[in-house]
Structure 1
Amino acid sequence: MASMKAALVHRWDDTPVVEDVPMPTPGSGETLVRVEAALVNHLDLTVLSGAFDPDLPRPYVPGVEGSGTVVSSDTLPVGTRVLVHGAGIGIDRAGTWAQFVSVPSAAAYAVPPTLSFEIAAAFIEPTASAWTALYDVANLGADETVIVTGATGAVGRAAIAIALAAGARVIGLVRKDADRHWVTAPAEAMSEQDIARLDELAREQPGTLLVDSVGGPELATRCSWLRPGSRAVVIGYVGGVTTEWNLVDFIGRDVSLLPLNMIRRQAVIAQHFSEFVALVEQGVVPIDVRTFTLDQVGDAVQAVRAGGARARMVLRPWTKPDQS
């Protein structure tokens, strides 16, 4: 039986190890893809920790997104460049941190050659998450003031770009003064170190929509920057998975707290995929990547875990260490 290299998880929170394993055999309705680039993201880390499904059989191959070329398929021509995403890939079936992956054919999306394999593997989560948060969840309207946290991250930068393109006034929140320059003009760049400006936001409450990828204990404080009757879309939890709220204050502010669960909104990707591709092709949404070989999977995981990076971490399963 033919074999391939794959990163395997044997125990929760352990560093994945690269081993030789049998190549997948696609079943009916599946597409076999030679993986050229595989994303490493926060959802992967959640699955790696065991928090997502502690009963998931191990060893397993992580990786919820990736790109490559079709080897065999019942729907796509051999050689088609594709993004693979959704349908439980890397969650309840083998993922993309391998040289080959077999996926349900509906989870393989043809991508144009104008997108490199690295960009193709990295663009859909931030672009689709930002667009869905703004339009599908929050129903972005005219004359909005949108506050975006995590503004140096991929989702935050995408949300800023899409909101600006819609004509909204945008405020992007970064951790440090030195990071302000990453916020795309004409959005206002605001730093967590600028205490005077934060106090001003709490007094003036200019926001009509908060797009929050940080979460954590300060979420209630950030919601205080919104006008009564506004919305806050929570799309991440890099700042912590718990928060605390004074319910009297919460009810008084009348802010709608809206979660974004992209796993349950995969139909949005299928319906608007060409629009998301165009946003990247036209340079509206910026996507930066940092590449690693498959043998460097531990370094890529650690880079995502450390946080604060603008680039998306991408594995190249066929690249040797001296070629990275």
Structure 2
Amino acid sequence: MKALRCNAFGPIDTLQVQDIPSPSPAAGEVLVDVHAASINFPDALMVQGLYQVKPPVPFTPGAELAGVVSAVGEGVTQVKVGDRVACSTGTGAFAEQAIAQASRVIPLPEDMDYAAGASFVLVYGTSLHALKTIGKLQPGETLLVLGAAGGVGIAAIEIAKAMGARVIAAASSEEKRALAKQAGADETVDYTQPEWRREVERLTQGEGADVVYDAVGGAYAEPALRATAWRGRYLVVGFAAGDIPKLPLNLALLKERAILGVFWGAAMARDPAQLRTDLQQLADWFKAGLVKPPVTERVGLADAASAIARLASRQAMGKIVVLPRG
């Protein structure tokens, strides 16, 4: 089968499409014929050796996919050969076939195509975990989303609206802010402006946001923390800006703010039952039209490396999907 391979940690443009043997599922695993796999920011970090998880090389990147089950391992009863599924894999998705843990596989909701299914589990799972379990977002509260036009940003906007919150979307261009508005954001701010947090304060009558969803980090983090309300919750989701910020802890003290880390993959490995509950909630919201994965581009395996590089440089919006079968 064909797969995009990382043979050594390094520049993204060294990734190669190669022929490798098809894998076989072990106990508790399923083999999926991959019809679509989406690109996520951790994919770009992982192939460069910059992610907190470093798989042994060579490996096939790609953390989430949708397709059809072609084989099941011993003990797997919740899915069968021929089922349409979506799943989170960690690695391996940018290939014609991939292995997934059966506990991380869900039936593809009716009316959801493979491209949307491949953009569903990781980003929506992360955002729901962040907002519900960690951030405890409540109806009527205000959420500030940084990087609002990216995959997790759009997911956070849609989920927050489904939970009854007000959303302020922060993004760097008019086009990105328009996409955030289309996803349901109530207000937008341009966080490339020097005093952008003042706009957040204006939009919240001087109080600040109750919850901040920060998947960007870098120089944006401190203003976002300063724009957090009394006893607000600042969610550390990722560092798309490239730099891990060093935040002045007096900012937490001054308004009794909570700085909370979000590591969806590790949390779901510890609590698979919560994963199933969250994914069922997301599937129900999809059926109700409350969430819709924002697929903006589709590429083949040959163009996957350049698409990963564009995402890494923050030139992409929404979700880019790889179609390994053409």
TM-score of the superposed pair, with normalisation by structure 2: 0.87
Q: Does 1:227 align with 2:229?
A: yes
Q: C-alpha separation between the residues in 1 aligned to 2:145 and 2:17? A: 38
What is the SS of the residue equivalent to 2:111?
coil
Which whole-Å deviations, capped at 9, do the CAs of 1:211-248 have from their partners, x for residues lacking one?
11111133121111122221111112112332123333
1:65 — aligned with what? 64
1:186 Cα deviation from its structure 2 partner: 6.0
Contact kept? 1:44, 1:62, Cα under 8 Å: yes
Out of 263, 273, 276, the position equivalent to 2:282 is: 276
Q: C-alpha separation between the residues in 1 aligned to 2:245 and 2:54? A: 27
Q: C-alpha separation between the residues in 1 aligned to 2:282 and 2:117? A: 11
Aligned-residue Cα RMSD (Å) equals: 2.2
1:144 Cα deviation from its structure 2 partner: 1.2
| Greater Cα shift, 243-252 or 77-86 | 243-252
Matched pairs, number: 310
Q: C-alpha separation between the residues in 2 aligned to 1:37 and 1:56? A: 22
Q: Does 1:112 align with 2:109?
A: yes
Contact kept? 2:60, 2:93, Cα under 8 Å: yes
Which of 1 and 2 has greater Rg?
1
1:200 Cα deviation from its structure 2 partner: 4.7
Q: Percent identity?
A: 26
1:188 Cα deviation from its structure 2 partner: 1.0
Contact kept? 2:71, 2:81, Cα under 8 Å: yes
Q: C-alpha separation between the residues in 2 aligned to 1:47 and 1:197? A: 32
1:195 Cα deviation from its structure 2 partner: 5.4
1:53 Cα deviation from its structure 2 partner: 6.2
Map residues 174-213 of structure 1 onto 2, 5 A cutoff.
Answer: 174-184=171-181, 185=184, 187-193=186-192, 198-201=197-200, 204-213=206-215
What is the SS of the residue equivalent to 1:172?
strand
| Greater Cα shift, 287-296 or 179-188 | 179-188
Q: C-alpha separation between the residues in 1 aligned to 2:175 and 2:303? A: 29
Q: C-alpha separation between the residues in 1 aligned to 2:38 and 2:143? A: 28
4+ residue stretches of structure 1 with deviation over 6 A?
Answer: none
What is the SS of the residue equivalent to 2:282?
helix
Out of 2, 6, 25, the position equivalent to 1:5 is: 2
Q: C-alpha separation between the residues in 2 aligned to 1:206 and 1:21? A: 52
2:88 — aligned with what? 85
- Alpha-carbon distance change, 141 to 122 in structure 1, aligned in 2, over 3 angstroms: same
| Greater Cα shift, 309-318 or 242-251 | 242-251
What is the SS of the residue equivalent to 1:269?
helix
1:140 Cα deviation from its structure 2 partner: 1.5
1:121 Cα deviation from its structure 2 partner: 0.6
Q: C-alpha separation between the residues in 1 aligned to 2:52 and 2:250? A: 35
- Alpha-carbon distance change, 318 to 119 in structure 1, aligned in 2, over 3 angstroms: same
1:209 Cα deviation from its structure 2 partner: 1.2
2:300 — aligned with what? 293
